[in-house]
Amino acid sequence: MPKESITPRARKRVAVLISGRGSNMVALIEAAKDASYPAEIALVASNRPDAAGLATARQAGIATAIVDRMTYGKDREAFERALQAVLEDHRIDLVCLAGFMRLLTPWFVAGWHGRMLNIHPALLPAFKGLHTHARALAAGVKTHGATVHFVAAEMDSGPIILQAEVPVLAGDRPETLAARVLAVEHKIYPQALRLVAEGRARAD
């Protein structure tokens, strides 16, 4: 009998969900260019047809999809069923939310339990929600940062996978602080996705 060939462990198929510029998406695409990275970016999907990151993804040769929230109006469930269908069509294993500005229902979140990640521009559990940099400055914290976590039904909660800190400096404005945080976001998101794709970080 011929010796069984050793096939390399399949890379996880990842969908990155965006609503805007997609700089974290780019960081993930760049990391996945390395053949030894345990995940490939198989799809970039957006709920907004005008998301700048869609063009960037197309230029990188990645399949894109638009699930336009306007098509579904207030019907959250119909929107999520359409999104789910796209993810299934592309045989997606893991979902990375990267500036995806739409709350997901407990039904959708439960279906992706332990397989959906989010990046948040603050050191959770501090500063959930929007305008994190302005709020961090107003609170006078000396350390701020970013968090990658598994997505749970409650917004900006769920088991933390990785965090990175940055100092808050005298004279910082929300924009200067945001830029410092974004630089570490681009480092930790690919690292966190690697941990999950390799089964080294789990939601429970």
Decide whether 81 or 137 has the Cβ nearer to ligand GRF.
137
- The contact set with ligand GRF (CB under 6 A) reads 18, 20-25, 98-99, 119-121, 182, 185
First to last CA, the chain: 42
Min CB(88)–ligand GRF separation in Å: 25
Distance CA 87, CA 94 (A): 9
How many other CB atoms are found less than 10 A from the CB of residue 144?
26
Decide whether 57 or 83 has the Cβ nearer to ligand GRF.
57
Please give the residue whose beta carbon sits closest to ligand GRF in the complex.
99
Min CB(95)–ligand GRF separation in Å: 14
Residue 127 tokens, joined: 């500063």
> Any catalytic annotation for residue 144?
no
Alpha helices in 20-150 (DSSP H): 23-32, 52-59, 69-72, 76-89, 106-111, 132-139
Min CB(184)–ligand GRF separation in Å: 10
Distance CA 126, CA 148 (A): 13
Q: Which of 120, 133, 144, 149 is catalytic?
A: 120
Task: Give me the amino acid identity at 202.
Answer: R
Decide whether 24 or 64 has the Cβ nearer to ligand GRF.
24
Q: Show which residues are catalytic.
A: 120
